[in-house]
Structure 1
Amino acid sequence: MAFMKTLLLIDGSSYLYRAFHAMPDLRSPQGEPTGAIYGMVNMLARLCKEVRFDYSACIFDAKGKTFRDELYPEYKANRPSMPTDLAAQIATVHEVVRASGWPLLMVDGVEADDVIGTLARQAAAEGMQVIISTGDKDMAQLVTPQVTLVNTMTNETLDEAGVKEKFGVPPTRIIDYLTLIGDKVDNVPGVDKCGPKTAVKWLEEYDSLDGVIAHAANVGGKVGENLRTALEWLPRGRELITIKCDVALAAELPAGMESLLHGERNLPRLAELFSECGFRTFLREVQQAMGAAEPAAEVVAEAPAAQPASSGDLFGATTDLFAEPPAPAANPAVPAATQLARHYETILDDAQLEAWLQKLAAADIVSLDTETTSLDPMQARIVGLSFAIEPGHAAYLPLAHRGPDAPQQLERDATLARLKPWLEDAGKKKLGQNLKYDRHVLANHGITLRGVADDTLLASYVIESHLRHNMDDLASRHLGETTVSYEEICGKGAKQIGFDEVAVDVAANYAAEDADITLRLNQYFAPLLTGRLLSVYRDIELPVAEVLFKMERNGVLIDRDILAAQSHQLGSEMLRLEQETYALAGQPFNLNSPKQLQEILFGKLGIPTKGVKKTPSGGFSTDEEVLEKLALDYPLPKLILQYRSLAKLKSTYTDKLPTLINPQTGRVHTNYAQAVAITGRLASNDPNLQNIPVRTAEGRRVREAFVATPGYVIVSADYSQIELRIMAHLSGDEGMLAAFASGEDIHKATAAEVFGVPLAEVSGEQRRAAKAINFGLIYGMGKYGLASQLGISNDAAQQYIDSYFRKYPGVADYMQRTRVAAAEQGYVETVFGRRLYLPEIRAANQARRAGAERAAINAPMQGTAADLIKLAMLAVQGWLEAEQLQSKLIMQVHDELVLEVAEAELAQVRERLPQLMAGAAALKVPLLAEVGVGPSWEAAH
């Protein structure tokens, strides 16, 4: 019996939009957008690899109106216009599709859906099997025993049973179903308030749309009224929803279905296109293919060995971009599934463990994940480990699940001992998602993780710092996968159970998926990390993660007694302020109640409300910004601000820090998050050591409790005026460069120019104003902000700014260049190549766009400062280890490094530390680090 042949139809317009939105803002060497092109190449490559077919076509919407626009002028009226960056890529996408051998169709007057529907019907009539690759729900109406839908974004395959399960109605009723609920995307009205459940109920009861219309009088309630109101519209809605399956295609298919045979690759043209786009990996593969061809041959006779997915698969599957189209399936009547096959194993006995130890030893790289008892990395203990060695192939090793139904598991300590040689082997490459946490967990069991080659959290952060980087979001955004969440298997809130209480079979699927998805994400990110981005990832973020692990492990010693005394003092001062506020208010009230404070300020005391912003409920705000303005004229708001400041200090630090002391180490261990701040700066939490207020005496005293171990001292090293130095480097302003080169006081130099006085006669007040100008302008501050900060008129502020730019014209030029570059490419860069994306830089809203422009000016300085302190950490840690010193890094706060230094090593550290920090990078101006020493952190300043 002859097997049916298969036609693969690709909804190119759907692919195009999905590729555009899934990819980061990639640019060609000429600055042109290329993300959609890159995504299309990968998505088509995956289809070519995974779906077996005899004929194929990639169908796009043609320009201009269709018959539906004539039928209903408001059709798709709600859709925003195509993004400019996407429109700019369409012509190249079409060229790449054709050059890759895919037949491409666009037919005027109809949509891509109609062409797909017509081809599907014709192919089925000729006895073919049809696979439609799309994410469009409207296509479900085309499903028959011979027509199947696949969605590569969600790895979903829909046959007749699948359509019924997903929508509640069979494919033959999809048109009726969609007509009733309407289509907001295409602006096709349905029956108001008729959702999917109601539509399914009506169709089950009355069989069809015609049946629903015929029995409309019998439908009760408000939705019944809405149905009767829509009766005149519904036939036209059905016509708009219905895919046209009789489009004339004779001109497009001169040889019938034979016109849709997959063509030969035009390798020279692909090489030109990929070169223009800057797709280095793709270009290299084309060149290899061209080099492998016989001189007279036009097509590669034998494709090069398959590259890992890092060479270009948008959704993580391993693809060979220039492989020949797959041979027809042995039985094309059963379409090949596009979802990546998963082989997840649970390791429960010695034989399985031994087999996996051999797999781990033989693998080029292994994705590793730990499941634990706690999110606290210093306290967490291992419940199980998962491994993935290739996409879709992973295993879970349960070691400490408990409960009456838990199966017999391998003994934890003995099993970890067997894994330890591999885990500690620097030659065996491992990857993971936030492996700094896993390092801690393994360290809690006496294992030092070595051989860390990749971390998907950090790769994502370097590529797209402005987005979220948790694994679930990454899987959805880049692989089209909906992963099992922790809450799904452990629950939420008070009912949440520990991972060790999860059933092993459930835990195995979750944990193995984590390792598998992480491996696939790593393959996806690899081709995106090129040039300077690769350097930021390999030379900064990955090695810094190891330094942070060691710093977190070191922790910092906290003196409980000092904090207890400070808490008592703060409490007494708060009581005094409370009594003063009662006296001024003329009555006691709750200082922490915005409502009561509002009544006192604006009601009883009659403070004018003009210019005071309102709360969402319509009252007047008493937030910090409002109180600061009122405090300039009224004493009560000033006291409230003082009270709030002390209350926050007490609750956040002096009361809380002692509760965070680790009982095993006697020290506080903060967590440094690398992938949070868009600029590249580290974030500290549990506790946050970077937000201790140091502008008040009470805040600075908190640092007195951060002390050294007996025999050690605290050493603090802080970069001096680092962002101004970076501005000098970036702008190349001659005056600023000269001032720093000569060691001149930059603030005094600015003051002399702005206030028109000799350098020697600059007053302290003038220097403070110049400092505000220097730092304000690099933060993008305008005349209004400067006027507010200095308490001067807007005109005076503008004069100061004009004087500043006369002295430093290169800074003004840099700012303008940066605004233009940011608008053109959507991001700015640090000195070292870190990209800082600005999503609002092209916003239509002027205020949001202006905010993005201010950020564009400052971000390269903040980002470069962040890179510098990280490079300094690497240099200092490397030196400490090379010299085998007992001194250790214990904190990083903004531009400052804090060490606990053995007294015997103090002279050595004091000399070398500022040299290492100053030498972290070579800029056009010298870097300067100022060092302080003392028994406490505060004393070291």
Structure 2
Amino acid sequence: MNTSKPKTLVLVDGSSYLYRAYHAMPDLRAVPGDPHSAATGAIRGMINMLQALRKEVPADYAACVFDTSGPTFRDALYADYKAHRPPMPDDLRAQIEPIHEVARLLGWKVLAIPGVEADDVIGTLARAAAQQGVEVIISSGDKDLAQLVDAHVSIIDTMSGKKRDVAGVVAEFGVPPSLMLDFQALVGDAVDNVPGVPKVGPKTAAKWLQQYGSLDALMAHAHEIKGVVGDNLRASLAWLPQARELLRIKTDLDLSPYIPGFPALDSIAISAPDIEGLRRFYEKYGFKTLARALAPAAEVASAGQGMNAAAPMPSDPAVADGVDSSVGAPAAPSAPARRYEIVLNWPDFERWLATVQAAELVALDTETTSLDEMRAQIVGISVAVRGGEAAYIPLRHDGPDAPAQLPLDEVLARLKPWLEDAARPKLGQHVKYDRHVFANHGVQVHGYAHDTMLQSYVLEVHKPHNLRSLAERHLGRAGINYEDLCGKGAHQIPFAQVAVERAAEYACEDVDECLGVHEALWPLLEASAPLRRIYELEIACSEVLFRMERNGVLIDTAVLAAQSRELGQRIMQIEAEAYALAGQPFNLGSPKQLAEIFFDKLGMPVIKKTASGARSTDEEVLEKLAEDYPLPAKLLEHRSLSKLKSTYTDKLPQMVDPRTGRVHTHYAQAVAVTGRLSSNEPNLQNIPVRTPEGRRIREAFIAPPGCLIASADYSQIELRIMAHLSGDHALLHAFQQGLDVHRATAAEVFGVSVHQVTSEQRRYAKVINFGLIYGMSSYGLAKNLGIEPKAAAAYIDRYFQRYPGVKQYMESTKALAKQRGYVETVFGRRLYLPEINSPNGPRRAAAERAAINAPMQGTAADLIKMAMVAVQKTLDAEKPAVKMILQVHDELVFELPAAEETWVRHEIPRLMASVADLRVPLLAEIGTGPNWERAH
């Protein structure tokens, strides 16, 4: 009996991925920033997809199948077939031939056969392969191909992770693959302009086919179907056979002119990548990182060389051969011969301790039990002092074959003097996390001089900053993934159960790559004084954030419980009021029921429709309808209060650390491209403050007995930055004279004296001031103010007449951004705008708005970070009992002994206002109280 594993054919629906790659990728150019050079976004997207697919799915045969231009046999069957499809964008059309070329270079057979569609070629290949016992995997996002699925044919969508095998098709569509063609005929295909039965959606089609067994049987019993859909079905009886033929994927094409020997598959056997051809291609189209990642097999060093003889580490055959034997992916470039050691005894430990104590810089990393930085415990520690040399100290591995390890407490005791010595420079990747891990064991690490994550964040904010991406980008090295070691999802094992040899390779590789990335990035920072200053600010801010996260904030869970009860009662009351307004009970979260009540029963106007043609009841529609109808207003209130309850009053008590009685948020430092911090687990920066219920949440953020909460924030910081950047005389004058800037703007725009400005005029001016910072159009301003677009346009024109410097700043900033591809903050942080020269109008317009706003948001982010560093330095020196506990946008929150209130009220605003010298004075305001809300 033959028990050998069946061979596999992988078929890529190239035409499906062309469009998805084009729309998913940014506007990349062969010459970055030059809008006249060749577009390359779709090419890069296809390369990414093909490489990932080849890595994930080992294949014996492979083809990448594309549509061709020109008519197909379906156009002859139905003149309106695909009639509504817009023409392919010129930028995408120009990338088709390069995509075909690079697919061939990557080892794929490329097929584009005139007169038929890619689906028909895929269907024919799939059926022929399945008949020969070959397993077929189709890579596509197109649901039409589901009609091909059977026991030997499945579909994967690498972009969404969805898999369609027989069970997956049934679960998704409610019918087996054998009925998918009948299902499609009933539902129709809007993309290809093939009508189905009017008003028949997927649920109805599935129900009918489940009941009658086939489209033919359903048509024979059409007289039994009641109601409007029955009438529609009977009216469609003559059309349905033609719809089915249009949608039927051919599986019997003669492919022998294109595939020699077909139906044999030998001529589409997957081949090794053409390394030199790829190198030339990548260089031609500006893919420098991809070009660097290529290397001849002979140049690649065997993994694990030089390992401690007591614990040999197996070579990785994929690296040793230079090409992954299962997928044919190009190997990483040559790296230094690696000497990775596992430290299992005291003599080796003492030798490595002496090495790190003598080193100028040490890369340091921890392997732990958890990603929760406040609870994570150490499993092992790795260090590296020079390229290719690293050691791993396993401390708590408990797998079945785990060797005897050194005792954790004693190892930390011996390392502690070095770890806590600020004069011994250390390097890490996301060092704030490792600080917490060591602090969980009573060790306060000092001397972190560098963080590769923050180096990348400052130099290349628009790119990924994880170590794997950095190593691939700057070293051309593809390391071991965590999931390769521990598995995924429910089957993932703790790191402590990973075999020590494999864990050591992973941990040593981390610190080795961290050292290599630092050596690549640090010279770039040293070469730019502004960027180096920003990086040093980020390093100092990381230390402050670590302490803030460690401090946490005290939560009164009883207050939240009471608020939760009140919110629950109010939510129930709103539901009853909504039922009364609707004249019936209904599911407030059901778009279908809402549409029926709004538009059929109550006669409200349809504002917009969804992509599928349904009448929309999304938040934008509710807000518009709420202007004239009470029921949508009730629903908005219901949603708002329900979110408050689930996100804050119910959830926050569950997030209190039982050891401290406090909530410890995590501040992500390298996420926002503007430099702003983000808070998560829990997110304390998005607590709503525009409603009384939202503001009350902050009442639960309290001070301990004998203490107070203080809240200090910058006043109108982004408008002040706009005045500084634009140099507009009137705007500078308003701030320099300490005027109410919104009132001053209203006076300018409405042509009245400052004393004559009404509250309504001031409100308009405030919206204009902040709206223009965010690039608001006249349409957006009109919507915000509830006025006609012409009136809004007139206000904007008048504003720019009175503040010509602002207009000039906006135009010059956009022009400079188009020229350089980035803008800068006052202090030199670079904010990249990949879409600033995009031929795609909406993307380009969004990038232009970002070009105006990003320098202000980024400068505000720099200022608050500078304030955090300056304030913490003063607190350490003068008032160590005062703790910084929260940062929310332009606000800093403190916990302080009541006796320090006078000092805090005077000194904190002064420190915040003095961190920078702009053309307008900075102003910080402060309040104190027993809780966060009262401090405002």
TM above 0.5, one fold?
yes
Structure 2 counterpart SS, 1:713: strand
Partner of residue 636 from structure 1, selected from 631, 636, 641 = 631
Match of 1:331 in 2: none
Structure 2: how far apart are the matches of 1:487 and 1:717?
43
Structure 1: how far apart are the matches of 2:764 and 2:827?
32
Structure 2: how far apart are the matches of 1:580 and 1:202?
65
| Alpha-carbon displacement from aligned partner over 1:362-408 (angstroms, at most 9, x marks no partner) | 22211111111111111111111111222222222111111332211
Partner of residue 584 from structure 2, selected from 577, 582, 587 = 587
Match of 1:40 in 2: none
Structure 1 window deviating more from structure 2 (511-520 vs 225-234): it is 225-234
Partner of residue 352 from structure 1, selected from 348, 352, 364 = 348
Contact 1:598 1:620 in 2 (8 A): yes
Q: Does 1:730 align with 2:725?
A: yes
Could you tell me how far 1:481 is from its partner in structure 2? 2.7
Structure 2: how far apart are the matches of 1:225 and 1:81?
33
Q: Does 1:476 align with 2:502?
A: no
Partner of residue 608 from structure 1, selected from 599, 605, 609 = 605
Match of 1:669 in 2: 664
Could you tell me how far 1:202 is from its partner in structure 2? 9.7
Structure 1: how far apart are the matches of 2:586 and 2:553?
40
- Give the AA of the match of 1:370: T
Contact 1:316 1:520 in 2 (8 A): no
- Give the AA of the match of 1:372: T
Match of 1:907 in 2: 902
Structure 2 counterpart SS, 1:553: helix
The percentage of counterpart residues that share the same residue type is 56
Off by >4 Å, runs of 4+ in structure 1: 21-33, 78-84, 135-140, 178-184, 187-204, 220-227, 232-235, 313-317, 334-338
Structure 1: how far apart are the matches of 2:454 and 2:537?
10
Could you tell me how far 1:475 is from its partner in structure 2? 2.6
Q: Does 1:459 align with 2:433?
A: no
Structure 2: how far apart are the matches of 1:347 and 1:23?
48
Could you tell me how far 1:895 is from its partner in structure 2? 0.3
Contact 1:182 1:190 in 2 (8 A): no
Structure 2 counterpart SS, 1:840: coil
Change (3 A) 1:621 1:339: same
Q: Does 1:228 align with 2:254?
A: yes
Could you tell me how far 1:842 is from its partner in structure 2? 0.8
Could you tell me how far 1:314 is from its partner in structure 2? 6.6
Could you tell me how far 1:613 is from its partner in structure 2? 3.2
Could you tell me how far 1:29 is from its partner in structure 2? 15
| Alpha-carbon displacement from aligned partner over 1:168-220 (angstroms, at most 9, x marks no partner) | xxxxxxxxxx5576899xx999975698999999999xxxxxxxxxxxxxxx9
Match of 2:405 in 1: 409
Instruction: Report the count of equivalent residues.
Output: 696
Q: Does 1:377 align with 2:403?
A: no
Change (3 A) 1:26 1:910: farther
Could you tell me how far 1:538 is from its partner in structure 2? 3.4
| Alpha-carbon displacement from aligned partner over 1:484-505 (angstroms, at most 9, x marks no partner) | 2222222222222221122222
Contact 1:192 1:226 in 2 (8 A): no
| Alpha-carbon displacement from aligned partner over 1:464-488 (angstroms, at most 9, x marks no partner) | 2222222222233333333222222
Structure 2: how far apart are the matches of 1:201 and 1:353?
61
Partner of residue 850 from structure 2, selected from 855, 866, 878 = 855
Structure 1: how far apart are the matches of 2:636 and 2:89?
49
- Give the AA of the match of 1:824: Q
Structure 2: how far apart are the matches of 1:577 and 1:433?
49
Name the TM-score, length of structure 2 as normaliser: 0.68
Structure 1 window deviating more from structure 2 (433-442 vs 417-426): it is 417-426
Structure 1 counterpart SS, 2:363: strand
Structure 1: how far apart are the matches of 2:354 and 2:127?
52
Could you tell me how far 1:771 is from its partner in structure 2? 0.4
Change (3 A) 1:242 1:894: closer
Contact 1:183 1:190 in 2 (8 A): no
Contact 2:883 2:895 in 1 (8 A): yes
Q: Does 1:568 align with 2:565?
A: yes
Structure 1: how far apart are the matches of 2:256 and 2:294?
46
Alignment of 1:880-895 (within 5 A): 880-895=875-890
Structure 1: how far apart are the matches of 2:332 and 2:635?
65
Could you tell me how far 1:80 is from its partner in structure 2? 8.7
Match of 1:151 in 2: none
Structure 2 counterpart SS, 1:229: coil
Alignment of 1:506-585 (within 5 A): 506-529=502-525, 530-585=527-582
Name the TM-score, length of structure 1 as normaliser: 0.68
Change (3 A) 1:337 1:892: closer
| Alpha-carbon displacement from aligned partner over 1:735-769 (angstroms, at most 9, x marks no partner) | 11111111011111111111122110111111111
| Alpha-carbon displacement from aligned partner over 1:511-536 (angstroms, at most 9, x marks no partner) | 22221222222122123323245334
Match of 1:688 in 2: 683
Could you tell me how far 1:714 is from its partner in structure 2? 0.7
Which ranges in structure 2 are unaligned for 5 or more consecutive residues? 1-24, 41-67, 71-87, 135-151, 154-247, 275-290, 296-320, 323-330
Match of 2:393 in 1: 397
Structure 2 counterpart SS, 1:717: strand
Structure 1: how far apart are the matches of 2:490 and 2:931?
40
Contact 1:180 1:199 in 2 (8 A): no
Contact 1:316 1:479 in 2 (8 A): no
| Alpha-carbon displacement from aligned partner over 1:304-359 (angstroms, at most 9, x marks no partner) | xxxxxxxxx97799xxxxxxxxxxxxxxxx99995313322211111221121122
Partner of residue 766 from structure 1, selected from 736, 756, 761 = 761
Could you tell me how far 1:451 is from its partner in structure 2? 1.2
Q: Does 1:743 align with 2:738?
A: yes
Match of 1:103 in 2: none
Could you tell me how far 1:642 is from its partner in structure 2? 0.3
Structure 2 counterpart SS, 1:228: coil
Change (3 A) 1:225 1:588: closer
Partner of residue 912 from structure 2, selected from 901, 917, 928 = 917
Match of 2:613 in 1: 618
| Alpha-carbon displacement from aligned partner over 1:249-289 (angstroms, at most 9, x marks no partner) | xxxxxxxxxxxxxxxxxxxxxxxxxxxxxxxxxxxxxxxxx
Partner of residue 427 from structure 1, selected from 418, 423, 426 = 423
Structure 2: how far apart are the matches of 1:746 and 1:83?
51
Structure 2 counterpart SS, 1:395: strand
Change (3 A) 1:427 1:202: farther
Structure 2: how far apart are the matches of 1:344 and 1:598?
64
| Alpha-carbon displacement from aligned partner over 1:818-875 (angstroms, at most 9, x marks no partner) | 1101111111110011111112111111121111111110110000000000000011
Match of 1:652 in 2: 647
Match of 2:146 in 1: none
Structure 1: how far apart are the matches of 2:30 and 2:111?
38
Contact 2:34 2:837 in 1 (8 A): no
Which ranges in structure 1 are unaligned for 5 or more consecutive residues? 1-20, 37-71, 87-110, 112-134, 141-166, 168-177, 205-219, 246-312, 318-333
Change (3 A) 1:597 1:190: closer
Structure 2: how far apart are the matches of 1:180 and 1:713?
70
- Give the AA of the match of 2:469: D
Structure 2 counterpart SS, 1:388: strand
- Give the aligned CA root-mean-square deviation in angstroms: 4.1
Match of 2:360 in 1: 364
